[in-house]
């Protein structure tokens, strides 16, 4: 799986980025037997989500809201203050 994903990302560009991100989430989701997988991107130094990518199994329930433009305060489980400490 890792080799295929690495090879796939060698040809990433703006035109195919969303498809490749969804393919990545699908591979990870299926590997871990998940119903859905999400990727949130944050702008450096900001607490606003700039992009989200989503994959879900056909027929599975998943979060329908796209999070682009949401503040981290709206998603407490993603806020840095919730990160585990060593």
Angle between helices 17-31 and 2-9 (to 10 degrees): 170
pLDDT in tens, 28-40: 999 999 998 888 8
**pTM of the full predicted structure?**
0.69
Which residues are bridge partners to 27 per DSSP? none
pLDDT in tens, 12-56: 999 999 999 999 999 999 999 999 888 888 777 777 887 788 898
């Amino acid at each position: 799986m890792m080799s295929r994903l690495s090879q796939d990302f060698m040809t990433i560009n703006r035109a195919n980025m969303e498809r490749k991100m969804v393919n990545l989430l699908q591979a990870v989701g299926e590997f871990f037997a998940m119903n859905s997988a999400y990727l949130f991107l944050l702008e450096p130094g900001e607490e606003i989500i700039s992009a989200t990518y989503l994959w879900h199994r056909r027929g599975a329930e998943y979060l329908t809201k796209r999070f682009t433009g949401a503040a981290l305060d709206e998603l407490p489980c993603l806020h840095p203050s919730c990160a585990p400490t060593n």
